[in-house]
C-alpha cells in the first residue's frame, strides 16, 4: 500500500503540480490510476460526471455511477479497481488545516455528520441534488484560477457551503436520528479522535471510557447509536488501517509490524489480520507485490 503524506505527492502521481492546500480538477478523463491501495491524508470530494467506477474503500467494494459521490476524511484507504472507458469525475481535495484556519471549533466538520462509514460516505444524488454541487465545484474552479486579495477566504467559504449542501443530502437519506442527542454525538466525536491518536498504544475500551470520564457500558451505548458499531469494532478498524499502511511499507518486517501494533506475538497479529482481510499478512504482501 502506498501512503501519500500530502496533496502535493498525491497530485504528482497524476502529473499535477500543486503547492496549495486545496485542489479542484477540471473533470477531464484521467489516463491512469494508482494500482495499489493508498491512504489519503486530506479531505476529498469526488463526484461522477459520466460512466462508473468500482472502488475499494477500507476493504469494502463500492460502485459509483453518474451523480454518485464519495466524501472522505483523512486516513481513508482507497483502491481503484475498475473504471469504465467513459468515466469522468470532478475532484476536490483540501487539507483540514486550510479549511479550519481561523475557526475556533475543530469539530465543525464532524458535526455535519458527513461520514456514515467512519471516515467516508458514498451516496447517489438525484439531478436536483447534484446541480448545486456542480455549481459550487465550477465556481471553485473559477476562483482557483485567479489570485486576488481575498481568494483564499472565498475558496474556504465555497468549500464550507459545499459541505453543508452535502450534509443536507446525507440528512435527507436518513443520516440523523432523534436519539442522537448533542451530548452523545460530542462524546462519540471525542472517542473517535482519541482512538486515532492512541491506537498504537491502547486497544481496550476501558482506557477510552476512562479518558472520557464515563463507564464502559455508556461508551458502548453512545458508539452504538452513533455508528451502529461497538467501540471494539471502531478500535479494530483503526488498528486494521494502521496494519494495511505498515504492510505496504517493505521497510517493516511482519515481526516489526506486530511489535509496533502492540500484539503479543506475530501469530496473534496474523489471526487479527486474517479475521478482517481473509488472508494472512504474508499472503497480502504477496498479493500486492510488496517484497
Please write the tens of the pLDDT for every residue from 221-280. Answer: 888 877 888 899 999 999 999 999 999 998 999 999 999 999 999 999 999 999 988 999
182-287 maps to which CATH number?
1.10.10.60
Helices (H), 2-125: 7-13, 96-99
Q: Is the pLDDT of residue 44 over 50?
A: yes
Domains 2-172 and 182-287 share a fold: no
Q: From CA 1, how far away is CA 250, in angstroms rounded?
A: 9
Please state the rounded mean pLDDT for residues 95-102.
Answer: 85
Q: Is the pLDDT of residue 43 over 70?
A: yes
- Chain length of the chain: 291
Q: Is the pLDDT of residue 171 over 90?
A: no
Q: From CA 73, how far away is CA 95, in angstroms rounded?
A: 9
Position 31 scores a pLDDT of 57
Residue 249: CA atoms inside 13 Å, Cβ hemisphere, count?
Answer: 13
Position 20 scores a pLDDT of 87
Q: From CA 48, how far away is CA 67, in angstroms rounded?
A: 5
Is residue 71 classed as helix, strand or coil in its secondary structure? strand
Q: From CA 51, how far away is CA 35, in angstroms rounded?
A: 19
For residue 226, count CB atoms less than 10 angstroms from its CB and return exposed for 0-12, middle for 13-18, buried for 19 or more: buried
pTM above 0.75, yes or no: no
Helices (H), 214-279: 216-227, 231-247, 254-260, 266-277
C-alpha radius of gyration, the chain, whole number = 20
Minimum mean pLDDT range among 34-48, 67-81, 171-185: 171-185
Structural domain spans, the chain = 2-172, 182-287
Residue 191: CA atoms inside 13 Å, Cβ hemisphere, count?
Answer: 35
In sequence order, what are the residues at sequence separation of 6 or more whose Cβ sits closer than 8 angstroms to the Cβ of residue 166? 45, 69, 71, 112, 114, 133
Q: How far is CA 44 from CA 140, 156, 278, in A?
A: 14, 14, 28
Q: Is the pLDDT of residue 104 over 50?
A: yes
**CATH domain 2-172 topology:** Jelly Rolls (2.60.120)
Pairwise pLDDT comparison (241 vs 2), residue with the higher score: 241
Position 28 scores a pLDDT of 75
Q: Which of 36, 76, 32, 30 is nearest to 49 (CA)?
A: 30
Minimum mean pLDDT range among 105-109, 130-134, 245-249, 285-289: 105-109
Amino acid at each position: 500500500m502506498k501512503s501519500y503524506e500530502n496533496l502535493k505527492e498525491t497530485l504528482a502521481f497524476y502529473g499535477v503540480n500543486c503547492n496549495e492546500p486545496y485542489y479542484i480538477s477540471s473533470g477531464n478523463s484521467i489516463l491512469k490510476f494508482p494500482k495499489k491501495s493508498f491512504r489519503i491524508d486530506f479531505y476529498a470530494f469526488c463526484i461522477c460526471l459520466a460512466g462508473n467506477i468500482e472502488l475499494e474503500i477500507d476493504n469494502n467494494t463500492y460502485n459509483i455511477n453518474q451523480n454518485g459521490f464519495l466524501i472522505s476524511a483523512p486516513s481513508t484507504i482507497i483502491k481503484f479497481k475498475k473504471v469504465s472507458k467513459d468515466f469522468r469525475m470532478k475532484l476536490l481535495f483540501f487539507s483540514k488545516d486550510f479549511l479550519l484556519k481561523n475557526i475556533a471549533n475543530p469539530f465543525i466538520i464532524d458535526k455535519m455528520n458527513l461520514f456514515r462509514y467512519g471516515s467516508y460516505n458514498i451516496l447517489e444524488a438525484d439531478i436536483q441534488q447534484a446541480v448545486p454541487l456542480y455549481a459550487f465545484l465550477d465556481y471553485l474552479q473559477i476562483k482557483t484560477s485567479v489570485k486576488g486579495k481575498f481568494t483564499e477566504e472565498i475558496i474556504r467559504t465555497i468549500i464550507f457551503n459545499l459541505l453543508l449542501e452535502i450534509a443536507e443530502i446525507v440528512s435527507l437519506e436518513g443520516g440523523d436520528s432523534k436519539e442522537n442527542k448533542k451530548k452523545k454525538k460530542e462524546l462519540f466525536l471525542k472517542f473517535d479522535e482519541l482512538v486515532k491518536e492512541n491506537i498504537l498504544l491502547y486497544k481496550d475500551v476501558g482506557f477510552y471510557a476512562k479518558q472520557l470520564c464515563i463507564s464502559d457500558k455508556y461508551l458502548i451505548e453512545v458508539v452504538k447509536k452513533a455508528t451502529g458499531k461497538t467501540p471494539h469494532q471502531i478500535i479494530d478498524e483503526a488498528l486494521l488501517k494502521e496494519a494495511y499502511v505498515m504492510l505496504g511499507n517493505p521497510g517493516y518486517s511482519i515481526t516489526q509490524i506486530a511489535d509496533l501494533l502492540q500484539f503479543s506475538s506475530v501469530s496473534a497479529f496474523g489471526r487479527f489480520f486474517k479475521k478482517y482481510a481473509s488472508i494472512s499478512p504474508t499472503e497480502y504482501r504477496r498479493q500486492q507485490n510488496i517484497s
